[in-house]
Amino acid sequence: MRARAPGSAGCERRAASGEPQAAGGKRRAAGGGRRAAGGKDWEIPVPRRYRAPVTTQVIVLNGGSSSGKTGIARCLQAVLPDPWPVLGVDTLIETMPASLQSSDTGLLVTPDGGVSVGPEFRALEAAWRAGVAAMVRAGARVVVDEVFLGGAASQQRWREALAGLDVLWVGVRCESAVAAGRELARGDRVVGMAAEQAEPVHRGVVYDMEVVTTHTEALVCARAIAERVG
């Protein structure tokens, strides 16, 4: 079992109780928040649970390794109404044959944390994206936990797969040094991957909103995202 991202533990309990949390990162979403003393951070209103009718069908979280996406995804499941399955690129990788998890034709992680993908992985990834889209079109609402290794090109592939669906695109950012520290604590990633991915995964990507997890708990980020779910 992989370790939970920092800040994710106990989000179900806090979401149920409506316990207030102070936001430690900037929030781009318009409305709903007010600037805290000092003019740097945002205080986010904390409803007990979100009961308004939901039209958003997919929430795509994009960020580098150890940026906190998985913790946010779990907390979204706790605060949003209705079941929202979480499907991520790790879900795909874990189902792949071992031979494709360390090969030039599949997925190859270099000793310094770099990741390269080959044609066989690309083919499976395309089929997986189509499967996620089919699941949504069949009536499910889904949180996608992704790492856009190709930046804008990766987003475009998802845009094509999710064409016609109501998607909320969310950038999950974290300072490289903080993500690297989380990476060491997790112990299930190649050292260097967090720093390698921190900025490139966001290049050219267009978001509806962004959250910064450097000093902000996953639950606070999840509540900010939930406020944007229409």
- Report which secondary-structure segment, H or E, holds 185: helix 176-186
Instruction: Please state whether the predicted TM-score (pTM) of the whole model is above 0.95.
Output: no
Domain 11-18+55-226 architecture: 3-Layer(aba) Sandwich (3.40)
* Residue 11 pLDDT: 67
Phi and psi dihedrals of 222, rounded to 5? -65, -40
Distances (CA, A) of 105 to 100, 120, 126: 7, 5, 15
* Residue 230 pLDDT: 79
Q: Active-site residue 90, yes or no?
A: yes
pLDDT along the chain (230 residues), means of 10: 42 48 37 38 42 81 94 97 93 90 84 85 95 97 96 98 98 94 80 88 97 96 94
Beta strands 115-117; 107-109: pairing state: antiparallel
Give dist(CA 229, CA 121) in Å, integer: 32
Please state the domain extents for the chain. 11-18+55-226
Phi and psi dihedrals of 62, rounded to 5? -120, 130
Report whether 86 contacts 143 (CB < 8 A): yes
Residue among 41, 90, 112, 208 flagged as catalytic: 90
Q: Which two tokens stand for residue 36?
A: 């805290």
Report whether 188 contacts 172 (CB < 8 A): no
Total count of residues recorded for the chain:
230
